Each structure stands twice: as structure tokens, then as C-alpha cells.
């Protein structure tokens, strides 16, 4: 069986983002992996119980997903709502789903407080980025699932090639 990849559902074009839209990733590699049956879509924020659309959220204080998992930081909506529990639950469900589906690799959209793996926003809702992981991406890594961002398709392709 080919190695499977858990992919942010919004990258498949599913309308699951906070603004009710998708963000389809158009690339021949995606089409090939789809045809090979490798891609399994998942949205941690929806799985954690959040509605769509929903207010944008960021991890507070320039912290990252590891800090949220360790209880040192919260995930807050721009409206002030504390959605930490939903983000952590979504991460746990993503890991469980990846294991159930046999996904040892993940392809996640960058910048998201859940799925980001290269950069996230700093909690000020002013567009400031910093290097770091979202909550689900951090938990995936802790659990041994390799996470690649949508800017690392070539690196993921090389990994898929090795894994078969
Ligand atoms: Fe996309 Fe991940 Fe945000 Fe869901 S949680 S909308 S999959 S970036």
C-alpha cells in the first residue's frame, strides 16, 4: 500500500477555513497523489468542534503550538474568545485519524494556528509572522508524524519516493 499523507482539508479546496473558504493547492504532485489515493483530508479546527465560518484565531504572546500543548499559552479569537480546548482537541483527533488511516506524513498549510509548521502569527492580529508550529502540527511531530508545509512539496515528494 502506498504511504498515505494527511493533508489540510482546505488545501483540497474544501470550504473549512475560518472565512468559509478553501485554499486549493494546485500542483501536478497533488494531482498525482490524489490519483494514487495517497491524500486524506482533515480539518483539525472543525474536528475540534469549531463552526465555519469562525473568527480568526492566533496563539497568544508570540508563543507556538508546543506552548499551547504544555499549557503555557492560549489560542484566542480576535473577538477574545478562548478556543484553546477546541484546538487541542482538534490536534488529538488529527493524530488519531492519521493513525487510523495509516498516514505517517502530513502536508499542512503554513501560517495556521493549527496547521502551520514553518511560521505562524504572533497573537497580535496585525499580520506579524514568526517561525513556529501550530497546535496540530506540533502534536503531530511529538507523535512521530512527519509534517511538511505547502511550501515544501519537493521535499515531501522526495520523502514519498523513499517511502514508496
Ligand atoms: Fe485548513 Fe488546518 Fe485551518 Fe482546517 S485548521 S481550515 S485544515 S488550516
- Residue boundaries of the structural domains of the chain: 4-163
Q: Taking the mean position of all CA atoms in its chain, how far away is CA 144? A: 15
DSSP 3: P
- State which H helix or E strand residue 147 sits in: strand 146-149
Give me 125's grid cell. 492580529
**Region label for 132, one of left (φ > 0), alpha (ψ between -120 and 50) or beta (otherwise):** left
Q: Is 149 in the pocket of ligand 1 (CB under 6 A)?
A: no
| Per-residue confidence in pLDDT tens, the chain, 164 aa | 568 999 999 999 999 999 999 999 999 999 999 999 999 999 999 999 999 999 999 999 999 999 999 999 999 999 999 999 999 999 999 999 999 999 999 999 999 999 999 999 999 999 999 999 999 999 999 999 999 999 999 999 999 999 87
Q: From CA 65, how far away is CA 88, in angstroms rounded?
A: 9
Q: Is 16 in the pocket of ligand 1 (CB under 6 A)?
A: yes
Give me 140's grid cell. 503531530
Residue of the CA atom closest to atom 4 of ligand 1: 43
Q: From CA 148, how far away is CA 107, in angstroms rounded?
A: 5
**With a cut of 0.85, is the ipTM above it?**
yes
Amino acid at each position: 500500500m502506498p504511504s498515505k499523507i494527511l493533508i489540510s482539508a482546505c488545501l483540497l479546496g474544501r470550504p473549512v477555513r475560518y472565512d468559509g473558504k478553501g485554499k486549493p493547492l494546485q500542483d501536478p504532485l497533488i494531482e498525482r497523489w490524489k490519483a494514487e489515493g495517497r491524500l486524506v483530508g482533515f480539518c483539525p479546527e472543525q474536528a475540534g468542534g469549531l463552526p465555519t465560518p469562525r473568527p480568526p484565531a492566533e496563539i497568544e504572546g508570540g508563543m507556538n503550538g508546543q506552548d499551547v500543548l504544555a499549557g503555557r499559552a492560549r489560542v484566542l479569537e480576535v473577538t477574545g474568545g478562548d478556543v484553546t480546548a477546541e484546538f487541542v482537541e482538534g490536534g488529538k483527533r488529527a493524530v488519531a485519524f492519521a493513525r487510523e488511516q495509516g498516514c505517517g506524513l502530513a502536508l499542512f498549510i503554513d501560517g495556521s494556528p493549527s496547521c502551520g509548521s514553518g511560521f505562524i502569527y504572533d497573537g497580535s492580529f496585525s499580520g506579524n509572522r514568526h517561525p513556529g508550529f501550530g497546535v496540530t502540527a506540533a502534536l503531530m511531530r511529538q507523535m512521530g508524524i512527519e509534517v511538511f508545509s505547502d511550501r515544501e512539496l519537493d521535499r515531501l515528494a522526495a520523502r514519498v519516493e523513499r517511502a514508496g
